Structure 1
Amino acid sequence: MLSLWLKGTHRLASHPVLAHSAAARNCASPWLRRGQSTLSRPLPRGTWDSHMHVVDPGCFPLAAHAQYQPHPHTLADARAFYSQFGIQNMVLVQPSIYGNDNSCLLEALEELTPKHGRAVVGLDPKTINYETMEKWHALGVRGARLNLVSVGREVHEDELRAELESYARVLKPFKWVLQLYVPLSLALPLVNIVPGLGVKVCVDHFGSPVLPQPSDSSGTIYPYDMQGFASLVSLLQTGNTWVKLSAPYRLSQDPEMRDLDSVGRELILKGGNRVVYATDWPHTRFDNIDSVPFIEKCFEWCGGDENSIDRLFRVNAEELWDVDVDT
């Protein structure tokens, strides 16, 4: 049996106080905002942010196992953030700090309405019931998230297969997405597991790679040197797996993202119909992130091609999240 584990760089402190201290260290990074910047061109009309969070510990208590204590970031805060880009459509993703209590997320989703909102919940496939999922579906829920990275879980291949199959059984009747926050190394077994699930799969944050050191002074890397990258590309090309271009600051220490250039370009080139943009707002455990440079980088990775840009920011998300464009 193949044993698969999370890299040490993915692990979080298990104690909230330690996690908070780690957050402070992370915030002292070159990604800090240096002043308000603006986009060189507008985003496509109808752009979707495919990954963001709302958190409000004062109104919605965190799970007992929460590994960090965030500041409140409400839907009103999110709308204020998005107003600078003209984004109205967002996918609320359940953060690990709330476990399977989706109350905060569902309240925000109800206010957004299905016209502008989708959500990915946390759930236990062994205990969730059809009636609850039916109600959530009406609100705009279109997926469930399995998060191994944030909680530092280690899994064997057989365990991963069994867990994903358990999720797929309850998601399939609603045609929901199975969203995975797992290390890139797990893409190897996913190549054999995903085709048999019968549901759409979406992986977070470029597939969550551990970036190698650049091979030269240009800062670029060869993505196929990363364990699992070729498997991720293969999954994208089979047509039932998507990947989010999101949270570059969780992967790279270079504010110019040069070590992500070859990764982003290759994912768009080889999986262009299955790649979606996301902000990862409010950038938990990172403060004052300027989102403009990453959007500009996405434009660059698309080669300035209007069709590719429209797909990355709008069209692919509409397909992934079951958006009725006529409503």
Structure 2
Amino acid sequence: MRVSERGLTRRRFCAAGAALVSLVGSGTRVLGEVKTPQLAIDTHAHVFHRGLKLAAGRRYAPDYDAPLELYLQQLDANSMTNGVLVQPSFLGTDNSYLLECLKQAQGRLRGIAVVDSSVSSQEIIALEKAGVVGIRLNLVGQPLPDFSASEWKALLALVKSANWQVEVQRNASDLASLTPKLLDAGVNVVLDHYALPDPKLGVDDPAFQDVLKLGASGRVWVKISAPYRNGPQGQAFAKQAYPLLRASFGPDRLLWGSDWPHTQFEASESYGKNRRFLNELVTDERERADVLIAPRALFRF
């Protein structure tokens, strides 16, 4: 099936998803006479539809639907037991669809919300009860926040009290200076998409080398997700980056994510393609299983 680079229509997107679905069953392991499912967690995906209100000042909005039902099909088709829904930046702080999807999934999914810095403790509690376990700061193309400002101190204190994570998407050159400030606030930090070093430099980017040093904190996780967001040679970069990340952070703090539905890369990417790439990236089967189960505590599965 060929898809126009201009984006997927709803019909084409749903058809593409249906074509992927060939249920292979979830893996199991035997403990005595009891069979229990081997957890395999996708830590980064988005759901949305075109009827949702879009955030002002958004940089991008898709022209197709990526509903919960289709995402759950991707999990089933690829033997993934659980997933994490990350609030898309183009929906801003209206997390209502995210919460609706978490409720429908009945515990199979967790959420990462986007909130105003003025969010109240009552709102944090309500989000937590719904299955949210952290906040996202998508800072691509945005001014860098001043974490020393009173509103940020208050927000990070709420995040810390909830034992949530702060998930950050930003280029590595800024992450190297931003992350220590978040750690000083006492929160756990998750860095998106291999920490996004300069695509021209890859693992030789001095900022990426600085990110590797953050592994010593024991409170930073890195998502080995969306290699295509690291330039046209993204897979080659990922294969160079993984052993370095593994040495610095350990496989228990590397988080695989599908990045479904691969916004702005829909024409070239699919869930199955990205899941198969994980097998190439982490060739040892036991280590790969460790990576897929590692998010269990952080995301409270």
Using the size of structure 1 for normalisation, the TM-score is 0.76
Q: Structure 1 unaligned runs (5+)?
A: 1-22, 26-31, 214-220
Choose from 48, 56, 71 the match for 1:64: 56
> Which residue of 2 is the match for residue 145 of structure 1?
136
Shift of 1:143: 0.3
Q: Is 1:301 equivalent to 2:278 in the alignment?
A: no
Comparing both chains, which one has the higher relative contact order based on Cα–Cα distances under 8 Å and sequence gaps of 6 or more? 1
C-alpha change, 1:138 and 1:65, in structure 2 (3 Å) is same
SS of residue paired to 1:79: helix
Q: Structure 2 unaligned runs (5+)?
A: 8-15, 29-37
Residue 235 of structure 1 contacts residue 241 of structure 1 at CA under 8 Å; is this kept in 2? yes
> Which residue of 2 is the match for residue 266 of structure 1?
244
Q: Is 1:105 equivalent to 2:83 in the alignment?
A: no
Shift of 1:37: 11
Q: Deviations over 1:132-151 (max 9, x none)?
A: 211111111000011111xx
Residue 42 of structure 2 contacts residue 80 of structure 2 at CA under 8 Å; is this kept in 1? yes
> Which residue of 1 is the match for residue 254 of structure 2?
275
- The code of the aligned residue for 2:95 comes to N
What is the alpha-carbon distance in structure 1 between the residues aligned to residue 124 and residue 180 of structure 2?
28
- The code of the aligned residue for 1:153 comes to Q
Residue 268 of structure 1 contacts residue 301 of structure 1 at CA under 8 Å; is this kept in 2? no
Q: Deviations over 1:25-71 (max 9, x none)?
A: 9xxxxxx99x9699xxx87821111010111121x221232322311
Shift of 1:247: 1.1
> Which residue of 1 is the match for residue 35 of structure 2?
none
- The code of the aligned residue for 2:6 comes to A
Shift of 1:131: 1.5
> Which residue of 1 is the match for residue 200 of structure 2?
212
What's the % identity of the aligned pairs? 26
Residue 260 of structure 2 contacts residue 270 of structure 2 at CA under 8 Å; is this kept in 1? no
User: Is the deviation greater in 67-76 or in 163-172?
Assistant: 163-172
Shift of 1:187: 2.8
SS of residue paired to 2:197: coil
Shift of 1:310: 1.9
Q: Is 1:94 equivalent to 2:53 in the alignment?
A: no
> Which residue of 1 is the match for residue 6 of structure 2?
24
Q: Is 1:320 equivalent to 2:301 in the alignment?
A: no
Q: Is 1:154 equivalent to 2:134 in the alignment?
A: no
- The code of the aligned residue for 2:224 comes to L
Residue 83 of structure 2 contacts residue 108 of structure 2 at CA under 8 Å; is this kept in 1? yes
- The code of the aligned residue for 1:131 comes to Q
Q: Is 1:252 equivalent to 2:231 in the alignment?
A: yes
What is the alpha-carbon distance in structure 1 between the residues aligned to residue 56 and residue 173 of structure 2?
29
Choose from 104, 113, 129 the match for 2:120: 129
Shift of 1:230: 1.8
CA RMSD of aligned residues (A): 3.0
Q: Deviations over 1:168-204 (max 9, x none)?
A: 2121111111110111111321354243121111011
Residue 111 of structure 2 contacts residue 131 of structure 2 at CA under 8 Å; is this kept in 1? yes
> Which residue of 2 is the match for residue 6 of structure 1?
none
SS of residue paired to 1:24: coil
> Which residue of 2 is the match for residue 119 of structure 1?
111
Choose from 199, 206, 210 the match for 1:227: 206
Shift of 1:209: 1.8
